[in-house]
Amino acid sequence: MPRSIWSGAISFGLVNVPVKLFSAVSRKNVRFHQLHDKDGVRIQQKRVCPADGEEVAYEDIVKGYEIAPDKYVVIDPEELEALDPKKTRAIEIQEFVDLEEIDPIYFDHPYYLAPDKGAAKPYRLLLQAMQDTNKVAIARVVIRQKENLVAIRATGNVMTMATMVFHDEVVPSDTLDEIPDDDEATVSDREVEMAQQLIGSLTAPFEPEKYHDEYRERVLELIEAKAAGEEIAIQPEEEPQKVPDLMAALEQSLEAAQKSGGGTSRSRKRAASGDGGEPAKKPARRAGSRAKASKK
């Protein structure tokens, strides 16, 4: 059972809905440690002052903000604490908006909101009302001394909350010099038509379970093979196939998609075989099981 990482209440006008917060994702990264190549001992990192080469104790470290090269303003912890947002357990809804009005680039980390004890009815009321109106709530909440902008929406029988980046944190696309002007890149009607056909041939219902981290699985297979004493052969990288021009690339891609049956047919094949169109390899499952066992 996942553990709640925060508890509070959704402030909806004069109505409060007590809720608990749960992370909606569990990252599955493969973590490596730095070892000394001669004896395999794990490396330790020390805080050292470059001026005298002496190790610095944690209690002797202060926070500084660089305002110019090698020039810092030192800030005391008490000064930062005085600026902390007001500690509150409320998720204060600011307004309701349509989901399609929010650019996905603003979404950061997803969470689940579950009703706290005795809050099943007001939770269901807000959930049902948001589903019926098809609206998303934009709110503010303080978590770990940081004020967050969040989006709350009804998803099935549960409310989800996603932290959002602020507008001034999004890098404007017009600051990219690499984006071509209309005059620099013109495409013909035939090229557009071919591209549309290619998109149509690769269109399929979104099934998130058929996508998985193939690189992580290969890394776990590698770890298990090396732990078993197997010799690993490094395969050379394949050179990408060169296509003479854009139209030729479109024609070849469309032909390949039509031969494979397009996105819908591939989805059915993957669903029939498991996840990626081929039965999962046993080493990947053993490695995953072993990794899970080690966490326990």
| Residues 6+ away with beta carbon under 8 Å from 137 | 10, 12, 93, 95, 96, 130, 151, 152, 153
* Paired tokens of 169: 């944190």
Do 116 and 16 contact (CB within 8 A), yes or no?
Answer: no
Give the whole-angstrom CA distance, residue 172 versus residue 175. 6
Q: Report the chain's mean pLDDT, rounded to a whole number.
A: 85
Q: Is 50 exceeded by the pLDDT of residue 178? A: yes
pLDDT at 243: 58
* Paired tokens of 222: 């590698």
Do 224 and 286 contact (CB within 8 A), yes or no?
Answer: yes
Q: Is 90 exceeded by the pLDDT of residue 186? A: no
pLDDT at 280: 41
More confident residue, 84 or 244: 84
More confident residue, 180 or 288: 180
More confident residue, 148 or 180: 148
pLDDT at 37: 94
Site of tokens 């002052």: 49
**Phi, psi (deg, nearest 5) at residue 202:** -100, 5
Q: If 0-12 CB within 10 Å is exposed, 13-18 middle and 19+ buried, where does residue 183 land?
A: exposed
pLDDT at 294: 39
Helices 246-260 & 189-201 angle (0-180, nearest 10): 20
Give the range with max mean pLDDT: 136-140, 249-253, 262-266, 291-295: 136-140
* Paired tokens of 207: 């099934």
Q: For residues 190-196, give the mean pLDDT.
A: 91
Cα–Cα nearest to 12, from 149, 166, 129: 129
Give the whole-angstrom CA distance, residue 18 versus residue 1. 20
More confident residue, 248 or 72: 72
Structure confidence at residue 261 as a pLDDT band (50, 70, 90): confident
Give the whole-angstrom CA distance, residue 268 versus residue 270. 5
Structural domains in the chain, sorted by start: 6-26+84-169 (2.40.290.10), 189-227+251-295 (no CATH)
Query: What are residue 138's DSSP bridge partners?
Result: 95, 151
Could you read off the pLDDT of 245-255 as tens digits, one per residue? 778 888 888 88
pLDDT at 241: 67
pLDDT at 244: 64
Q: Is 90 exceeded by the pLDDT of residue 157? A: yes
Give the whole-angstrom CA distance, residue 139 versus residue 94. 5
